[in-house]
């Protein structure tokens, strides 16, 4: 009995990932979204976890988690241009800068791949003189 009470007071709150998932409308995040190392009291040290604590998160208190999440609107813990809620909704980690943050790259034209613009320019330069000669 004493061991179970002690364990409950030092471990992370097991329902917090589900609360975060409901808030973000995304998948349930891993405990490492807030905790470094074993998820125990005192290990909420990630940028996202720190942002929650700055907004009133208290251990084992779901109401303070909900309030802290609501006060996170527009926060980008990792500074990659995507707010935390969007990163969580998309199954990302708001602690690690994403290489896909921001608007998606075009899937056509010169921006499709590195070097594509050079190929397009080469092809254009080879075909342009032929077209010009044909129209004289």
Place of tokens 């999440």: 69
Sorted by sequence, the CB contacts under 8 Å of residue 45 that are 6+ apart come out as 35, 36
Q: What is the DSSP-derived secondary structure letter of residue 101?
A: -
pLDDT band at 17 (very low <50, low <70, confident <90, very high): very high
Q: Say yes or no to pLDDT of 9 above 80.
A: no
The ranges assigned to domains in the chain are: 9-89, 105-136
Q: Say yes or no to pLDDT of 124 above 80.
A: no
State the pTM of this model: 0.63
**Tens digit of each residue's pLDDT (9 = 90 or more) over 42-74:** 788 899 999 999 999 998 899 999 999 999 989
Q: Could you count the other beta carbons within 10 Å of the beta carbon of residue 37?
A: 9
């Amino acid at each position: 009995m004493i061991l179970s009470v002690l364990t409950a007071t030092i471990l992370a709150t097991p329902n917090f990932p589900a609360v975060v998932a409901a808030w973000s409308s995304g998948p349930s995040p891993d405990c490492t979204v807030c905790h470094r190392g074993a998820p125990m009291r005192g290990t909420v040290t990630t940028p996202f976890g720190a942002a929650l604590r700055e907004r009133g998160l208290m251990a084992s208190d779901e109401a303070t988690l909900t309030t802290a999440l609501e006060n996170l609107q527009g926060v980008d813990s990792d500074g990659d241009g995507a707010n935390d809620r969007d990163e969580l909704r998309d199954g990302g980690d708001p602690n690690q800068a994403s290489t896909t943050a921001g608007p998606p790259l075009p899937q056509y034209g010169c921006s499709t791949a590195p070097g594509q613009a050079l190929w397009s320019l080469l092809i254009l330069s080879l075909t342009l003189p032929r077209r010009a000669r044909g129209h004289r």
